[in-house]
Amino acid sequence: MFNRVAFITGASRGIGRATALTLCRAGFDIVVASPEIEKNEEVATEIRACSGEAITVNLDVTSQESVKEAFARTLKDKGRIDVLVNNAGVTRDGIAMRMKPADWDLVLRLNLDGAFYCTQQVLPGMMKNRWGRVINISSVVGQAGSAGQANYAASKAGLIGLTKALAQEMASRGITVNAVAPGYIATDMTKVLPEDVQKKILASVPLGRMGKAEDIAAAVKFLASEDASYITGHVLAVNGGMYM
């Protein structure tokens, strides 16, 4: 029995790192993909320490050339990609009327366009194998909106639309496409928020705590498994009740 191969973007830290380690423990071979080459190797070392297999690729999802090179190298080394986790993301917050075009463009290019480019690379192989999992990491912000995050909200809402469209296109080929929508998760992205903002957000979470990257990784593991074979086009909210 072969191990399935999971390609994870933004895998060098946070939710991506937790997902890589969780899927490794579930028996997947892991492709650790991000532009942070040294951190990629650190994650790969952690995976190998728990008897998993990992390769690393330098991936800038805003560059179609980088995307093509990273996936071509993966297919050469591993021969297949069974699971794609589109996790790479960035924020450039600011109120809409003053948002710089460059900040709008970067967030949409990285969070949404990048996911689309990566997905295009895996679909031919998944269609040939008649099995595949595409899992997009959206956000509660893409469902409920957030003042000062028009670009981020638009990109994450766009991922939900992309998820549903691709799910309809790919279902007949045995490929499921789903999204996970994290709430307030303890990551590098959230720890830079001012303390008063963090307290305000936490007050809106019925479970009364921040989520962990491992909470999101567990949801991804489920959607990547055979247990989720009859689920597609779904948005799995992992947000402590923050948005229902």
Structure tokens at 158: 């766009």
Structure tokens at 145: 């909106």
| Residues 6+ positions from 205 with CB-CB distance below 8 Å | 183, 184, 239, 240, 241, 242
In the set 117, 152, 184, 243, the catalytic residue is 152
Question: Is 184 tagged catalytic?
Answer: no
Q: What is the DSSP string of 42-99?
A: HHHHHHHHTT--EEEEE--TT-HHHHHHHHHHHHHHHS---EEEE-------B-GGG-
Distance between CA atoms of residues 68 and 176, nearest Å: 22
Distance between CA atoms of residues 71 and 87, nearest Å: 15
Instruction: Return the amino acid letter for 116.
Output: F
**Active-site residue numbers?**
152
